[in-house]
Structure 1
Amino acid sequence: MRSYQIEDLTEESVRRIEARLTELGLRGSLDGIYYLPVPAELLDTEQKAHVETCGPHIMALEVIDGGRLKLELLVRGRGPLRCSCIAYATPAQRERMIDFLDQLIRDMDIAV
């Protein structure tokens, strides 16, 4: 699995990040999992065609014990678990979602 990781966060920083993600309505059904929606304009052709059946398309962010965040660089739908529209992020999707996470942390004035 390809991923983007942020390490060496304090417990307090992780709690603050999780609280902010929850406020934004991004909390998943499992503890420590958050679903970051991929903007519609960045979906590839097949993902756009599958919005109604598989959407919304997301990238999963996992909070891992020890002060780590792991953003999976896989775009999946919140619908079916298996579909041809599930694919590794395009360069534009990857850049936007990493920038989103980095900006969230900067806006919270958390040192990384």
Structure 2
Amino acid sequence: MRYYLIDEISPSDMEKIDEFLKKNAIRSEMEKVFWVRIPKELLGDIQYQHRECHPHLFSIELGTNQLKVEFFIRNLNHLNCTCQSYCTLEQRDFILNFSQKMIEELGIRT
């Protein structure tokens, strides 16, 4: 799996990240895993055409002192659909910008 890893995060900063994601992402059924929607204007052709698969998302998983942001775009409706794939360059930029903005907004130090 390809992902962006931010580690060496203090416990108090991990709590801030957890609270931020509870407000700004979709909680998954798995504890400490969150889903973030990819904006419709950034969807690839196949993703856009597969309306029954919307929304398309990326995951953020919180560890003890790290967060892992996956570059795989998936949907929660059809787990084996062809519209799931690694992110495009535009989607990657969105993922990295979301992560960086969160870190800056919360004043996280790593």
Q: Please give the TM-score of this superposition, normalised by the length of structure 1.
A: 0.94
Question: Partners of 1:26 and 1:77 in 2: how far apart?
Answer: 12
- In the alignment, structure 1 segments of 5+ residues that lack a partner are none
Superposition pairs of residues 49-68 of structure 1, within 5 angstroms = 49-51=49-51, 53-65=52-64, 67-68=65-66
Alpha-carbon displacement from aligned partner over 1:63-99 (angstroms, at most 9, x marks no partner) = 112x110011000012111100000000110111111
User: Paired residue for 1:44?
Assistant: 44
How many matched pairs? Answer: 110
Question: Partners of 1:25 and 1:68 in 2: how far apart?
Answer: 17
Q: Please give the TM-score of this superposition, normalised by the length of structure 2.
A: 0.95
Question: Partners of 1:25 and 1:85 in 2: how far apart?
Answer: 21
Root mean square deviation of aligned Cα? 1.0
Letter of the structure 2 residue corresponding to residue 110 of structure 1 = I
TM superposition shift of 1:25: 4.3
Question: Partners of 1:69 and 1:8 in 2: how far apart?
Answer: 9
TM superposition shift of 1:26: 2.3
SS at match of 2:61: strand
Question: Partners of 2:25 and 2:60 in 1: how far apart?
Answer: 13
- In the alignment, structure 2 segments of 5+ residues that lack a partner are none
Deviant stretches of 4+, over 2 Å: none
Question: Partners of 2:25 and 2:44 in 1: how far apart?
Answer: 24
User: Paired residue for 1:79?
Assistant: 77
